[in-house]
A and B are shown apart, each in its own frame.
Chain A
Amino acid sequence: MEAKSDIAWCPGCGNFAIRDVLEKLLPELPVPANRIVFTSGIGQAAKMPHYLKVNYFNGLHGRSLPLAVGIKLARPDLTVIAYSGDGCMYGEGGNHFIHTIRRQLDITILVSDNQVYALTKGQSSPTTDPGAINSLSPGGNRNLPFNPVALAIAMGAPFVARGFAGDKEHLTELIRQAILFRGTALVDILQPCVSFNKVNTYQWYRQRVVKLAKPATDRSAALQTAERWGEQIPIGVIYQDDAAECRAGAEIFRRGATAEEVACQIDMKCVMMR
């Protein structure tokens, strides 16, 4: 177990709670630790796998998802979890977020959404509320916020949830279901950043979060729930489609071809007629 002092987060950071959840949950899963692979990008959130007993590929800012796709395609036997922050997943990696959902692979996407670029000291992120003031937006953030859960539902992600770092028990169940779900699963986690986000604090979220009783199975109903933000912020599984298609990776690991198989393939006429 990691001594908490080795962890590069500020005291009181919401990421500690998420780490507690994962540390307790992962050993309970029906998958041994050596078959769990985390990918992550860069940011405070992206350091998460360093503090867990798992395999990980901590790559570049924004690129946790294509790494996860490559791993899952190559090794369908591994449980693949991409972990990063809102800036990493929805900003720098926004294109990958859209297209990873389209691939319909069994990948879990977990996001510490603190509505801020924390590691670079508090600039606006895609999920920062309009009007928020910071060093690069002294007159207040002018951009419309990115809605990850609505986008994921619209793109056809079959499991879409929002969690809150201030409710570990609830979050544990969300993440458990997301990992066990067969298909692309997103959990956007409201994660208070005590150092750089003085607006969206524990208290701010606590006053607003409302737990959903059960997920919508109808996409347009789910989208309506996903649209809700402000006075009330729904948390829980927003959308779930157990019947959604899930594409398997390639079963080719440690399967080499013989010289005869190669000869047969290259001498086929269709090959010559490129």
Chain B
Amino acid sequence: MEMNVIIAGEAGQGAFSVEMELTETLSRLNYHFFATKNYMSRIRGGHNYHIVRIADHPVHALSGGIWDMVVALDGETERRHRPDLREGGIYLSREMTAAVAETAKEAFGTVAASNSVLVGIILAVIGVSAEKSAEAAEPGRAEYVRKGFEFAAKWKLTAAVPVSAAAGVHRKFDGNQALALGAVLGGCQFVAGYPMTPATSILDYFVTLAQGLPLHFEQAEDEIAAINMVLGASYAGLRAMAATAGGGFALMQEAVSLAGMTETPVVIAVAQRPGPATGLPTRTEQADLAFVLNAGHGEFPRIIFAPGSIGEMIALSRKSFALADRYQIPVFILTDQYFADSVQIVEEEIPLQVDSRQYPEFDGTYLRYRLTDEGISPLTFPGLTAALVKLDSDEHDEEGKITEDRRMRVRMVDKRRGKRALFEKEAVMPTFHGDPGAGMVVLCWGSTKLIVQEAAERLTAQGTPVGVLHFGQVYPLTREMIAPFGLEGKKRICVENNAGGQFSRLLKSELDLGVDRLVLKYDGESFTVDELTRTLKGLLA
């Protein structure tokens, strides 16, 4: 059983608060749920909606099905979302929500209480008892939630769509919280940034964690300053990260090249939104892969991750820092607005130990860019010993001094580029989901993972077996990464949230792997399970 509820209204009317309070309470009541939001780039007015999928089994994607319940805070909701209400579904009209607001104001002296009353109504609909709901309510809001049960009783909604609570011990995160937490677990202690949707909440959560942990956040004057501060902190000895959206990353490019040349470890999170330029600031897209892949002038190696689940995000975000240090390269984490703003629960254990940097000690003969047999120069930090640490953005010799010596130039280029062969050996394997014998495989990357997987499950259940191969590491791609999956003999479909099929082009250029069909979406919204099931079915016919 599951219930899909949509809460819609103008920005500032409380739909956001209802979603937050509802997911918080559902988490305390041990419900499985998935929540996401669709909002406009404005603080008041317009039309925003928040979707919560409550289920008695794990759910990790936007279903896209018809609504079991629509909560209208404005008039637009009637026109936009009521047609998608299932027959016999629950519609809380604008008049009904206005009555809730009125009562809340009278009874509790604040309209804000009405958000909690609405939460109470929804909890009543899924069959939670008033007592349990009041217990799980936000502090000071139990009475408001109880009031919701009175409304539910009056409107005969109690247990109208019963869903049982079946989640075990869990934590709840959105994609950006997972990214920031993974960074902290990876030993990241320094972030500098400049706010830009959908990356801002990475900064927010890092700052929240910094309230009680040895971390520092600095708000920079622009993204150029942000990433240079991050490189300064990394050089000085702290693991450090920059986080921004595509537009901010455009400003950071020169410093990506600087990191490549100076071999300064750095992790850069890029949260994608539709471009070009300002694009659709609060919507989603996967169209900055090619940009991140090619960002920065000159030739130097990099790794790019694009995790697809909360657990994978935490794990790869953590891992990025160890790799950045080991290979002294920029490591990227690509995410997007859909993933950033999706709230999910994680039942699997999250190891919370914090990784740490190595602080090797050298004497005065230390050379930052020493040419070694292993192909990596020893990394250390200023002020620890007599060793002086000299970095240079010019081509340099082993000590870190400017050089124009042609032989040294070639040796340094070879050293930097040679690191790729080393980290290719520890590439993160893609994950296969579904029937290994299926004749059709869907290739995907980043945030579409769980949507594609659920669509494939539905198709398989309907008698058309489909496999899914998801790439959490999108660069570099190696033959070893795809070898176990027998892709050559299968019909290959690539699903991407962009217009140009950027990942499919990368598969072609890196692995000479073509795809038979592309499924693309670039209207600013993510795929939904229903939509993708239909599209894939059409391609099979």
Contact = CB atoms under 8 A, between A and B. Distances in A.
A77 interface: yes
Contact of A252 (B216, B231, B353): B216
Interface string A42-84: 1000010110011111111001011111110111011000000
Contacts, number: 195
B239 to A, nearest CB: 10
A19 B172 CA distance: 57
Contacts of A219: none
Contact of B258 (A49, A53, A60): A60
A249 B236 CA distance: 12
A70 B192 contact: yes
Contacts of A249: 216
Interface stretch (B381-389, B419-427, B515-523): B381-389
Given A74-B190, A74-B236, A75-B383, A67 B229 contact: yes
A34 B361 CA distance: 13
A35 interface: yes
A259 interface: yes
Contact of B240 (A49, A70, A256, A267): A70
Given A252-B189, A257-B354, A70 B224 contact: no
Contact of A54 (B177, B240, B388): B388
A262 interface: yes
Interface residues of B, number: 71
Given A60-B254, A261-B212, A273-B24, A99 B221 contact: yes
A273 B20 contact: yes
Majority SS of interface residues in chain B?
Answer: mixed
B391 interface: yes
Interface in A103-149: none
Nearest to A33: B388
A69 B190 CA distance: 12
Contacts of A42: 393
A82 to B, nearest CB: 10
A256 B354 contact: yes
A1 interface: no
Contact of A77 (B139, B225, B383): B383
A58 B397 CA distance: 13
A8 interface: yes
Contact of A70 (B139, B201, B229, B393): B229
Interface in B212-246: 212-216, 218, 220-222, 224-226, 228-238, 240
A66 B234 CA distance: 12
B535 interface: no
B312 interface: no
B401 interface: yes
A259 B235 contact: no
B104 to A, nearest CB: 20
Contact of B231 (A59, A96, A269): A59
A254 B255 CA distance: 25
A258 interface: yes
A34 B388 contact: yes
Nearest to B356: A256
Contacts of A67: 228-229, 231-232, 235
B41 interface: no
A257 B214 contact: yes
A75 B213 CA distance: 17
A253 B235 CA distance: 12
B258 A59 contact: yes
Contacts of A70: 190, 192, 218, 228-236, 240
Given A74-B190, A96-B221, A254-B237, A259 B354 contact: yes
A95 B214 contact: no
Which 8 residue pairs are nearest across A and B when measured between Cβ atoms? A70-B232, A66-B228, A70-B229, A99-B221, A250-B216, A55-B382, A74-B233, A252-B214
Interface of A: 8, 33-35, 37, 39, 42, 47, 49-50, 53-60, 63, 65-71, 73-75, 77-78, 95-96, 98-99, 249-250, 252-259, 261-274
Given A35-B382, A58-B402, 12 more contacts: A58-B392, A60-B228, A63-B225, A66-B224, A70-B231, A70-B234, A70-B235, A75-B236, A96-B225, A265-B208, A265-B212, A274-B20
Interface of B: 20, 24, 27, 139, 171-172, 174, 177, 181, 184-185, 187, 189-190, 192, 201, 204-205, 208-209, 211-216, 218, 220-222, 224-226, 228-238, 240, 254-255, 258, 262, 351-354, 356, 359, 382-394, 400-402
14 contacts: A34-B388, A37-B236, A49-B390, A57-B232, A57-B262, A67-B235, A70-B192, A77-B383, A96-B224, A252-B216, A253-B237, A257-B354, A270-B208, A274-B174
